[in-house]
Amino acid sequence: MNIKVCGITQLKQLQQLDGLNIDFAGFIFYKNSPRYVGNKISKKELKSTDFDIKKVGVFVNAGYDEILQTVEDYDLDIVQLHGEEEPLLCEQLSEDIEVIKAFKISDSATNIDDLIIDYDEVCDYYLFDTSTADGNFGGTGEKFDWNILSKAKIEKPFFLSGGISVDDVTKIKAFKHLDFYGVDINSRFEKEPGIKDMSLILQFKQGLKIK
User: Tens of pLDDT along 64-99?
Assistant: 999 999 999 999 999 999 999 999 999 999 999 999
Split into its structural domains, the chain has a count of 1
Q: Strands 54-59 and 125-130: what pairing?
A: unpaired
Task: Output the domain CATH number for residue 162.
Answer: 3.20.20.70
Asked whether residue 107 carries a pLDDT value surpassing 80, the answer given is no
Cα separation of 58 and 67, whole Å? Answer: 9
Is pTM, for the whole model, over 0.85? yes
| Residue 21 pLDDT > 80 | yes
Give the number of other CB atoms < 10 A from CB of residue 160.
Answer: 25
Residue-number span of the structural domain to which 190 is assigned: 2-208
